[in-house]
Structures are given as C-alpha cells and as structure tokens.
Amino acid sequence: MRNKQVVMIDARIAKRGSEHGIARHVKELLFNLFKIASGNNKTYFILVNNDNVFLDEVLPSNFKLIILKNSVFSLKSQIELFFVIKKYKPDIFHSPQFIVPLLSTVPLIATIHDMNHLALGNNYSFIKRFYYQFFLQKKLKKAKAIITVSNFSKQEIIKYFKIKPELIHVIYNGVQNNFKPLNFFSQEKIISVLKKYDLPEKYIFTLGNSKPHKNLAKVLESYCLGNFNLPLVILTNIKEQIEDLKQNYNCNKQIKTLTYVAEEDFPIIYGLSKIFIYVSLYEGFGLPPIEAAACGVPSIVSNTTSLPEIMGNNAIYVDPLKLNEIQAGMEFGLQTESTEVQAIVKNGFTWIQKYSWLEMAKETLHIYDNLQ
C-alpha cells in the first residue's frame, strides 16, 4: 500500500497562448498548487499535450508531467485516458473542465464552469448536447465532488443535472496581481503597448469570441448606432464578421479589432480604456469585469446569470438584449468625473480582493485532502 495520495489533473486545455477563461483557471490552479503543494504528502500527475504551458516550467519534485498524444476534445482521448489511468492508478482524477474520463471508474472530481451547453442548447451541436445530457450527467452523479465557480452555476447544475447540493463546492476564480491601474506602469511600457497594438490613446473596450452568447453583435450595434466619439477596440477571433457588421450598420466610426493580446499586456489594454463592456447573455463566472475593476475601469455588464453575483454593486448593469439600455450604460460609464462612476471604480478595488487564485488553489487542495 502506497503512503502518498496520487492525484491526476487533466491540464491539456492550458495551451501556450490560450487566454480564455477555463485555460486561465487551469493555469492558475496548477501554478498555485506548485507553490502550496510542493513536497506535500501527494504525488501529482499532470496530463498535457505537446503545446502545453507547463512544458516550459520547472516543476516541484512531487509533480510529474504525462504527455498525451490526443487533445482533450478528441474521441481517441477517451481510450488513451483509460490506459493512462490504468497505468498510473490515481486515487483521484480531477478534470478542471467538462471533459471527464468516460471509460474509467477512477474517483472523480470535476470542475463545471457553467451550463451553457444546455441553457443555450440551440447554439451547440447535437453531439455536445448529448454528451452533456447523457455521459456527463451520468458521470457527475457518481463523482466524489463537483467544483463550480459561482452560486449561480451551482444552481444551474442542480437544475439541469439533479445533483445533490452537498456534492457541489463553490470556489470563486481569482484575479492576477498584475492587473493594476495605469499609474503602476511606466510611461515607456504604456507607450510600447500603444505602439505594439496600434491603439488609440483612449477608447471603449470589449472582448468576446465567436459564440453567440458573447453578444458582440449587440455591442457593435449599440456603438455604431449611438452617439459615441471614442474609438471602439474589440478583442475577438471573428474579425471578418466584425467588419461585415460594421458595413451593415454603415458605421464610419473608428473600430480597432485585435485578434491576440499577450498576457502581460492585458492590464494596460484594460487601463487605457475609458469603459469596458461585457454584455454576455450567459456566464458561469465572468473573469473580464473583475480584471477591468482591478485596473480601475468601470464595466457595463449584463444584469443576468452570474454577473450580478460576481460584480456586486461595482458595475453598471444593463439588459443585454436592449439596445437603448446598453447605450445608456455606456454613456453613464463615460461620465468618469461623476461621483457615481468614481464610487464604482473606488469600491471595485476593495470588492475584487475576495477573488484570489491562491485561495482557489487552497480550497481545491482542501477537497483533495478530504477525499483521502
């Protein structure tokens, strides 16, 4: 009988250059576990692919990388996972995203960030919905623990999967320490970021991917049809669609589309903006608004799903489906000299202290400990 508990964590989603929410969560989980679990009474096997960020790191002695051939979303991955689990015999398998081992009976901890595959089922393929409704639900009912990132998401998991509430642990995401207001950065660094991305000196900022619930089309419509003089900067992977929408609205305003921002540049990208817009239709947590708040930038966010829980009274809330509300929220946020907006910014600095990646890792480690 071995003395050390063996924990296997599937970190394949944390690819080099991947900055989306779940990849960020997995990176921060592991980087902080390296700090607090180095040399403890556990052995950690970290599953990666050849493009993983952890291949560039020097790991503590009780953390071992296992390189898998197949990506986390590959069907072949399930067969590969089965044999890897059989070989290394972990006491716990932690899947920090919604793909779990289907062919193994290994004790499972799963982190489910949201339920948009079912709540917004029309936006997803039949195969993805079927995976959620049949395979994932079946596995989660037998899981040792489920982690989620907000009380909203906990209620969604209960609603769609009929999971016992006591099985679900809410552990909030965090915000990195490098997210700070502009006055923490040198003028040389700020100018270098402006030049690197060819940015205007001040702008309205938003971001989102191609998924319909990110609601970027409504942001663009609100901006193009509103009375806004500042340029709009959009970080997205749908540059061509943005250009098409701009033409549809006959928009002659300055719109700058970015397709990539280096992780170290994000705080300045936020900090240069006058307001940040995040009117997503569905979020399990919502990292960007708390990052904007850490940079001293007021956010216009949706009054739905997890965002009121995550932002409290420290954002400007709008109905994400109503053009006039989004425009009114933007106009209000741009009044940066008003006492109301200044209060949102000031109180936001205090509010975000509750979000810590280190605490997230500590709480996750506590769940590992309790399953010994």
User: What's the pLDDT tens digit per position in 51-81?
Assistant: 999 998 999 999 999 999 998 888 888 999 9
Please provide the size of the chain in residues.
372
Question: Do 154 and 178 meet the contact criterion of CB atoms below 8 Å apart?
Answer: no
Q: Are 329 and 317 in contact, with CB atoms under 8 Å apart?
A: yes
pLDDT at 90: 97
The per-residue pLDDT for range 73-117, each reduced to its tens digit, is 888 889 999 999 999 999 999 999 888 999 999 999 999 999 988
**What is the pLDDT averaged over residues 292-305?**
98
Q: Which residues contact 89 (CB under 8 A, 6 or more apart)?
A: 6
Cβ neighbors of 190 (< 8 A, separation 6 or more) are 182, 268, 272
Q: Does position 179 have pLDDT exceeding 70, yes or no?
A: yes
Q: Judge whether residue 1 has pLDDT over 60.
A: no
Question: Which of 181-185, 205-209, 249-253 shows the lowest mean pLDDT across its residues?
Answer: 249-253
Average pLDDT for 233-256: 85
pLDDT exceeds 60 at position 207: yes
**Rounded distance between C-alpha atoms, residue 296 and residue 294, angstroms:** 5
pLDDT at 372 over 70: no
Report whether 5 contacts 91 (CB < 8 A). yes
Stretch 321-342: mean pLDDT, rounded? 96
- pLDDT average, residue stretch 296-313: 98
Q: What is the pLDDT of residue 119?
A: 83
d(CA 164, CA 166): 6
The pLDDT score that the predictor gives to residue 163 is 94
Tokens coding 233: 């900067």
Provide the residue type at 44 as one letter: Y
For 181, the token pair is 């207001």
Average pLDDT over residues 177-190: 96
Burial state string for 22-56 with b = 16 or more CB within 10 A and e = fewer than 16? bbbbbbbbbbbbbeebeebebbbbbbbbeebbbee
Looking at the predicted structure, is the pLDDT value of residue 2 above 70? no
pLDDT band at 133 (very low <50, low <70, confident <90, very high): confident
The pLDDT assigned to 138 comes to 85
Query: Which pLDDT score, from 0 to 100, does residue 283 have?
Result: 96
> Which ranges of the chain does DSSP label H, i.e. alpha helix?
21-36, 75-88, 116-119, 126-130, 137-141, 151-161, 187-196, 216-224, 239-248, 266-271, 287-294, 307-311, 323-333, 339-351, 357-370
Quote the CA–CA distance of 44 and 311 in Å, as a whole number. Answer: 34
Q: Output phi, psi for 243, to 5 deg.
A: -65, -40
**pLDDT (0 to 100) of residue 295:** 98
User: Does residue 117 or residue 204 have the better pLDDT?
Assistant: 204
Strands 273-278 and 168-170: unpaired
**pLDDT reported for residue 19:** 66
